[in-house]
Structure 1
Amino acid sequence: MEYEAFWKIITYFYYIGGLLALLKIYQSVTSGIFKSDKRLDGQVVIVTGSNTGIGKAAALDFAKRGAKVILACRDLIKANEAKEEIIEISKNKNVVVRSLDLSSFASVRNFAKEIIATENRLDVLVNNAGVGGVDKKTEDGIEWGMQVNHYGHFLLTNLLIDLLKKSAPSRIVHVSSMIHKIGRLDFDNMKCERSKNGFMVYANCKLYNVIGSNEFARRLEGSGVTSNSLHPGVVNTEIMRHVPYLVRCIVNKLLQLFFKSPEEGAQTTIYLAVSDDVTNMSGKYFVDCQEASTISITEDREIGQKFWEKCCDIVGLKPEERFI
């Protein structure tokens, strides 16, 4: 019996390994690759969470294209290390680090104030930073992952709208996830006060990203500023750095072996920030450099309007700061 049980376990691992290998092949075959050599000379691009993973890969690409790239990061040590690496590889010295802690609305306001004071233009804002597996609240009383993944970016984008309009045509790129399709929107629980399920908190905030992106697009119609969201794929990044060590090690090894690299995961972000194909597209959702379908709630105008007002209240936007 023990012998049979042993071989059953081996067989299960064999099938799981086969499925993961097929997944890796599928990822490689279907991954969208943006191959344009378009330059971004004279443009200014902000990428949040750009000291590692998808954000760093995207920032390097923008630097190679000649843009001024602002690495908006909480960890300034890692950010400066990323800066030096990006400069060395791209040969573009116009890469700067700015302090941004999305878990603090005060930090977001200070960052936006500094950008407005020092930059004459902003051509692309990439809301990339993300976190998972953090079970605590921020200084603003919001679940940590929800604030970093959504509310911090929502406030930041609102505060930089005038600069984006001034620089039009300009673009806002929101890095969401396909997991948004299982997220839920509860207007009475938008801070996730009653939820302790980290997985659903993550799914909910990614849903908020898409709803918010679409509402930005509606409110910015005719301004020359576009807003689109995307799913980067399942990517080997450090987003799980806050989960328990053993779980993190297992997940990271699986990501390394079977899923996209940060460079592959950054392709749709780069596509939406650079490609002429999406110059006049706004309020869309993309996967592998192609427009993709999403769920109906993200397209509902009434829900979008109500969601917008609730978000404005939560992040503390004053009436005069609400651009529409």
Structure 2
Amino acid sequence: MEKFIKLIKDKLGDKVTLVFDKKYLSDYVGAIQGKADVLVKAETTDDVAAALKLAYENDINIVIRGAGTNLVASTVPEGGLVLDVSNLKEIGQIDEFNQSIEVGCGVKLCDLQNFVESKGWFYPPDPAEKEATIGGNISTNAGGMRAVKYGVTRDYVRELEFVTPQGNVLKLGADTIKDSSGLNLKHLVIGSEGTLGVVTKARLKLIPKPAYTQSALIAFTSLRKALDALPTLFAMSLKPTAIEFVERKVIAIGENYLSKEFPCPEAEAYLIVTFDGSEQDVLDAFNIAKNELKNLCLDFIELTDPKVSSNVWEIRAA
């Protein structure tokens, strides 16, 4: 290890540190503390490539660290090198012709979404943890509630810059709508959770921002009635953006934790449904859904009140 530390210090200088915050030894929960010998805070793809190459040549364990928001201990090291890529957070210009944008792996999902939406564009993948990085989203093929209509992270990755364990930098995929030539190595990397190498940049597909988005809370007297409503909803061909199912006992925990109230507390289960599109299309979808579900649900609450809507989403998230 001493030999490796000297080599990597000679190569990367002050980007290498031997004394670092304990956050690098655990995940978001913090229940398990690992151990590591050295930390590298990469600032470029070249830094990542150099660190991986040296670790490979010297048989050193590596754990890749982004925002550390995961809850499954996958960022807990067992000795060796922690490679922090959270500083690779450049957001490029939107390519309106190809409807895409290039971002660094350390860009947070919330920052990307806020940026593109301010320009009238939309990045649909929407996992619950908005502080997670794009690199982490790609490595886990993160989904989220909008997967019902728009799909998951995999469906929005056009191109990847990827560093192999040997330190080779590859370009996988292409910034085109149709990319059907050769082996589909890009999709091998997406969801591989860092086992094949490190994603350093990604070119992501964007779509025009929907003009109008609105949610509704559908309350039910039983778990069975909530479940029975799902095929009814899908059979209407309304294309909901998101459908989230949650039981009353889970909501009660969120209410107690946040000291907030959820609508229709007498219900036993809920569906939270979101539609987007033109305002008229969304209103029509609500009217159809409300009419079709009137014999199944206890209440159909359109979340037009900002305070009520905020409570619903905050309690659900908690």
- RCO (CA 8 Å, sep 6+): is it higher in 1 or 2? 1
Hey, which of these two has a bigger chunk of strand by percent?
2
- Alignment TM-score, normalising by the size of structure 2: 0.25
Over alpha carbons, which structure has the higher Rg? 2
- Alignment TM-score, normalising by the size of structure 1: 0.25
